[in-house]
Amino acid sequence: MIGGAILKARRTLQPNEVSPMAVGKVSDADFEAEVLKAQGPVVVDFWAEWCGPCRMIAPALDEIAGAMGEKVKIVKLNVDESPKTASKYGVMSIPTLMIFKDGEMASRQVGAAPKAKLQQWITAAV
């Protein structure tokens, strides 16, 4: 024990290895394949590097992705790097989260929210 805290060993991912429950990234180029043609429900977090509230909800989305596992896929789309998709879905402010099912938007959440509210919204929609 160091300073009263127990240190846990964490397995490090190899360079080409992806954690199955991690929040992924999508762009204009692969949005259709990764989101619209996905087998199950997909949560898309429309965000940008400069957006404070976007960075604030990122850890909550990581935790939700880990907790929900294979039930839902969670991905981020940077609106500065992929403006076409954001424009197509009418994203006017960020963070905006959308749940897609069977190639269609099923639900939308605009603005930052606490982890419990985000998890409840995602669970209800999937």
| Two tokens, residue 59 | 């850890």
Provide the sign of the torsion angle of the four alpha carbons 36, 38, 42, 45, taken in this order: negative
Q: Is 44 a catalytic residue?
A: no
Cβ atoms 73, 25 nearer than 8 A: no
Of these residues, 23, 26, 43, 51, which one is catalytic? 51
Q: Is 51 a catalytic residue?
A: yes
Of these residues, 54, 68, 97, 113, which one is catalytic? 54
Cβ atoms 43, 122 nearer than 8 A: yes
Q: Which residues are catalytic?
A: 51, 54
